[in-house]
Amino acid sequence: MIRKLRRRAVRLFAVGLELSGKALARSKAKSKPASVPPAPASVDVNGMRVVITGGTRGIGQALAKGFTDAGARVAILARNGTEAAAVAKALGPLAIGLQANVTDPIAMDRAFAQIDACWGGVDLLINNAGVPGTLDRAAWDISAPELSDVIAVNLVGAHLAAQSAIKLMRSRGISGRIINVSSGAVNRPTAGMTAYAVSKYALEGLTRQLAVEADRSGISVASIRLGSVRTAMTTAAFGATKASLLPDPETVVPAFLTLARAPKELVQGRSFASWHLLADPEAELRTANPLAHSRAFTYPHYTHNGRSVSRTDPAFRIYDRAENQFGASPAVAAAILADLNARPLEVYPDETHAPLRAALSDHMALSPDCFAIGNGSWEVLDRLLEIFTQGGDEVIGGKPGWFGFQMLCDKRALVSIKVPMMLENGRLQHDLTAVAAAISPATRLIYLISPSNPEGVILRRTAFLEFLTLVPKEIPILLDEAYFEYCNDPDAITARDVIDLSDRPIFGLRTFSKFYALASMRVGYAYGRAEHIALLNRGERIFNIAHLSEIAVIAALQDHAHSAFVLDANGVQRKMIQDHAKGMGLQFIDSQTCFILIELPCPLDNLIDLFAQEGIFLPAKAYYKAKYFMFPVSTEQENRRNLTLLAKAVKKG
């Protein structure tokens, strides 16, 4: 029973730890953007009259010290008056300790009356008192009294304390503030913590209602979701060793100080994540979604001998985006020029994308209703996440996987479950059995890349069809086929091969940026059964691709001779590179894309520098415990130059 309790507790506290750890790591790695505007004039904490419930230990005690250190007067309320008095005495003359049970309305009114007599009012209430409840049982095994006990403290107690505080604030004409302490458990449902999670969900509902009711009195109400910290409760739950890995309670104090100081207009009725407030307080205060901890992504800017490198300069080669080095079909430029002479630029594009749908219909032998068109596959993928998931849901993908998918998951507060590939008969493969085993009640989408990025490994027909029998048919499955047109393995399977076999929601995702060499045109698409694509199209932004982009991709799609040339040339060059790598004694992962993971012959930085000296810029990332790097497949001339440099790196070692 003790072990079971500890497992449940670990899950509870790991929720906040995972969320806060990721956000803090990102904040250390990336500088704060200068574009975030400064906050309006903040509230002065010095001299503020603060009431903290549950203030004798853990987070409450840390908050009491943090606010007194900032010059605030702090009243500590606790069931044990002796403990409250002792903590207050240790903090000095700015603190007082009072006995008060948050579930007793008479005791709450009496405590606030005492504080009023002492200080003449209250400016801030922090509803911190709370209990974890039953963490060792399923929801149906929790009795009504046990659930009521948790609700009584975590919800009703917070309501009673807020009630007493608001009555006092209104009687004194004080535009005060209430901060309700919520939890990261609200971000992600976790088995074994029903009573606690439900109480915190309800607390955030109470926060919004109180904010609406109290707003006319100038009183603001907000809540803050906490990550995991080291307290007596966490130590008792899973031992001192594991608890020692958690941050100290004091680490969350700056987040509370930020909320206490922030203008009312920025906090009223909102719930904030402590890990976001700690990482980027201004962004968290001003945004109402997970974008608070996101940053605009840009690729590295390169220089060569002090000269700024342009991606379009023929003197250099930049391989960090897996662009098609064979170029676009000549028919594209001709089609664009012809259209420019025939159609006025002031006319909006066709929002139905009818010509492109018709071309795709011919290309894939599907109804035009089976396609969703987007501004690159990024936009379509984001729309899929928007339609089928919400914050806290789980999505399953490969490891390491494409970085862009993780970025989109982060921006939507999704939990990304990453499943590594496996070695089978000496060949790296998608571990579809492990993917199926990772499915949980919170799983809302499965995202598989074929050929995979960065490995270039395909989904194989038999394995994938068996996998479908293991996956509940209601869960959407997305096959990202961004590089599939490069594939020449007959055993590869696509979404097109299976959407006619079942009515389950299966989507294929493709782009014109890679194989068709039209990255600047920004056109991608998803395909699937018409009834599922209709759901996806509900989220489409009108006029989301330019008319000339549509003209370009149709011309590329219909130039079958150029497509055959690119497929054949890439396949020949890919094999040539792999043969040379083998001859150099370097391992590689057999690829079906326009790149190959090849064993590093020397430290990555040295290899990057060696190529950069020749004006060649490789992706500065190593994979699989820094064993492999991404080698581009390009034209024969460029490939031979790149292989010569690789051989030079092998000699240097």
Active site amino acids? 196
**Quick one: which of 551, 558, 521 has its CA closest to 349?**
551
Distance CA 227, CA 16 (A): 3
* Residue 428: its H or E element: strand 427-429
Burial 249-281 (b: 16+ CB within 10 A, else e): bebbbebbbbbbbbebebbbbbbbbbbbbbbbb
Handedness of CA 124, 120, 80, 85 (dihedral sign): positive
Residues 127/108, Cβ–Cβ less than 8 Å: no
Tokens of residue 595, six digits: 């790149």
Distance CA 467, CA 434 (A): 10
CB atoms within 10 A of CB 106: 11
Residues 631/456, Cβ–Cβ less than 8 Å: no
At a CB cut-off of 8 Å and minimum separation 6, what does 390 contact? 412, 444
Tokens of residue 314, six digits: 């023929």
State which amino acid sits at residue 455.
E
Distance CA 39, CA 636 (A): 56
Distance CA 583, CA 485 (A): 28
Check residue 38 and report its DSSP letter. P
**Quick one: which of 87, 632, 118, 45 has its CA closest to 324?**
632
What is the DSSP code string of 259-292? HHHS-HHHHTT-EEEHHHHHH-HHHHHH-SSGGG
State which amino acid sits at residue 518.
L
- Would you mind telling me the total number of residues written for the chain in this entry? 653
**Quick one: which of 12, 415, 390, 391 has its CA closest to 185?**
12
